[in-house]
Chain A
Amino acid sequence: MRILIVEDDPQTAAYVCKGLRESGHVVDHALNAADGGFLAGSEHYDVIVLDRMLGGIDGLELVHRMRAQGMGTPVLVLSALGKVDDRVLGLRAGADDYLAKPFVFAELVARIDALARRNAGGGWGTVLRVEDLELDPSSRRVTRAGRAIDVKPREFLLLEYLMRHHDQLVTRTMLLESVWDYHFDPRTNVIDVHISRLRQKIDHGFDKPLLHTVRGAGYMLGAHR
Chain B
Amino acid sequence: MHIARLARTSTVRFAALYTLVFCVSVALLLGFIYDATVRAVDREIEVTLQTELASLQEVHRRLGSAGLIEVVRARSVDPTTSANSAYLLVDKALQPVAGNLAQWPATRSEAGGRLEFILDDPGEGTSGPRLYRAHVLVLPDGGRLLVAHSIDRRARAQRLVTDALAWGLAATLLLGVAGGFLISRAVLRRMEAIADTCARIVDGHMSERIVVSGTGDELDRLAIQLNRMLGRIEQLVEGMRTMSDNIAHELRSPLTRLRAAVDTALAGPPDAERYRDALQKALLETDRVLTVFGAVMTITQARFGLLRGQMEVLDLAALAAEAAELYEPVSEARSVSLEVLAPAPVAVFGHRQLLAQALVNLLDNAMKFTPAGGSVRVSVAQSAGRAVATVADTGPGIEAQARERLLAPFARGDGCAGIPGNGLGLSLVVEVARLHGAALALEDNAPGLRVTLTLPVRDAVSASHAPQGR
Question: Which residues from chain A sit less than 8 Å from chain B, CB to CB?
Answer: 81-85, 88, 100, 102, 154, 180-190, 193-194, 196-197
**Which residues of B lie under 8 Å from residue A82 when comparing CB positions?**
293-298, 301
A114–B468 Cα gap in the complex (Å)?
Answer: 26
Can you list 24 A-B contacts (CB < 8 A)? A82-B293, A82-B298, A82-B301, A83-B297, A83-B301, A84-B301, A84-B310, A85-B310, A102-B290, A180-B322, A181-B470, A182-B326, A182-B360, A183-B353, A184-B357, A184-B360, A185-B294, A186-B326, A188-B330, A188-B364, A188-B420, A189-B330, A193-B329, A197-B332
A154 touches B293 (CB 8 A): no
Whether A84 touches B307, Cβ cut-off 8 Å, given contacts A181-B470, A193-B329, A193-B333, is yes
**Shortest beta-carbon distance, A202 to chain B, in Å?**
15
A82–B295 Cα gap in the complex (Å)?
Answer: 7
**Shortest beta-carbon distance, B272 to chain A, in Å?**
18
Report the 8 A-B pairs with minimum CB-CB distance, sorted nearest first: A82-B297, A193-B329, A82-B294, A184-B357, A197-B329, A193-B330, A186-B360, A183-B353
A188–B364 Cα gap in the complex (Å)?
Answer: 8
List 9 extra interface pairs beyond A182-B357, A190-B326, A193-B333, CB under 8 A: A81-B293, A82-B294, A83-B301, A88-B310, A181-B470, A182-B326, A182-B360, A186-B357, A190-B330
B291's nearest neighbour on chain A, judged by CB, is A187
B352's nearest neighbour on chain A, judged by CB, is A181
A104's nearest neighbour on chain B, judged by CB, is B287
Beta-carbon contacts under 8 Å, B109-130 to A? none
Complex partner residue of A81 from B297, B325, B351, B356, CB under 8 angstroms: B297
Main secondary structure of the interface of B (DSSP, over half): helix
Question: Which residues from chain B sit less than 8 Å from chain A, CB to CB?
Answer: 290-291, 293-298, 301, 306-307, 309-310, 322, 325-327, 329-330, 332-333, 351, 353-354, 356-357, 360-361, 364, 420, 470
Whether A84 touches B329, Cβ cut-off 8 Å, given contacts A181-B470, A184-B353, A188-B364, is no
B294 touches A85 (CB 8 A): no
**Shortest beta-carbon distance, A95 to chain B, in Å?**
16
**Which residues of A lie under 8 Å from residue B330 when comparing CB positions?**
188-190, 193
**Which residues of B lie under 8 Å from residue A194 when comparing CB positions?**
326, 329
A85 touches B322 (CB 8 A): no
**Which residues of B lie under 8 Å from residue A185 when comparing CB positions?**
291, 294
Most buried by A among B297, B301, B329, B354: B329
Whether A84 touches B326, Cβ cut-off 8 Å, given contacts A102-B290, A186-B360, is no
A82–B299 Cα gap in the complex (Å)?
Answer: 10
Complex partner residue of B327 from A81, A84, A184, A190, CB under 8 angstroms: A190
**Which residues of B lie under 8 Å from residue A196 when comparing CB positions?**
329
Complex partner residue of B301 from A85, A180, A181, CB under 8 angstroms: A85
**Which residues of A lie under 8 Å from residue B333 when comparing CB positions?**
193
A153's nearest neighbour on chain B, judged by CB, is B325
A216's nearest neighbour on chain B, judged by CB, is B283
Whether A81 touches B310, Cβ cut-off 8 Å, given contacts A182-B353, A186-B326, A186-B364, is no
**Which residues of A lie under 8 Å from residue B351 when comparing CB positions?**
84
A181–B301 Cα gap in the complex (Å)?
Answer: 20
A194–B333 Cα gap in the complex (Å)?
Answer: 10
**Which residues of B lie under 8 Å from residue A182 when comparing CB positions?**
326, 353, 356-357, 360
B309's nearest neighbour on chain A, judged by CB, is A85
A152–B458 Cα gap in the complex (Å)?
Answer: 31
**Which residues of B lie under 8 Å from residue A154 when comparing CB positions?**
325
A182's nearest neighbour on chain B, judged by CB, is B356
A188–B351 Cα gap in the complex (Å)?
Answer: 22
A82–B310 Cα gap in the complex (Å)?
Answer: 16
**Shortest beta-carbon distance, A83 to chain B, in Å?**
7
A101's nearest neighbour on chain B, judged by CB, is B290
Complex partner residue of B307 from A85, A102, A197, CB under 8 angstroms: A85
**Which residues of A lie under 8 Å from residue B332 when comparing CB positions?**
197
A155's nearest neighbour on chain B, judged by CB, is B329
**Which residues of B lie under 8 Å from residue A84 when comparing CB positions?**
298, 301, 307, 310, 351, 353-354
B294 touches A81 (CB 8 A): yes
Whether A85 touches B306, Cβ cut-off 8 Å, given contacts A184-B353, A193-B329, is yes
**Shortest beta-carbon distance, A141 to chain B, in Å?**
21
A184 touches B298 (CB 8 A): yes
Whether A180 touches B294, Cβ cut-off 8 Å, given contacts A84-B354, A88-B310, A188-B364, is no
A88–B354 Cα gap in the complex (Å)?
Answer: 13
**Which residues of A lie under 8 Å from residue B290 when comparing CB positions?**
81, 102
**Shortest beta-carbon distance, A48 to chain B, in Å?**
24
A154–B326 Cα gap in the complex (Å)?
Answer: 9
Most buried by A among B290, B364, B420: B290
**Shortest beta-carbon distance, B17 to chain A, in Å?**
51
A187–B310 Cα gap in the complex (Å)?
Answer: 24
**Which residues of B lie under 8 Å from residue A187 when comparing CB positions?**
291
B329's nearest neighbour on chain A, judged by CB, is A193
**Which residues of B lie under 8 Å from residue A88 when comparing CB positions?**
310
**Which residues of A lie under 8 Å from residue B327 when comparing CB positions?**
190
**Which residues of B lie under 8 Å from residue A100 when comparing CB positions?**
294
A187–B364 Cα gap in the complex (Å)?
Answer: 9
A190–B326 Cα gap in the complex (Å)?
Answer: 7
B280's nearest neighbour on chain A, judged by CB, is A216
**Shortest beta-carbon distance, B283 to chain A, in Å?**
9
A189–B367 Cα gap in the complex (Å)?
Answer: 12
**Which residues of A lie under 8 Å from residue B295 when comparing CB positions?**
82
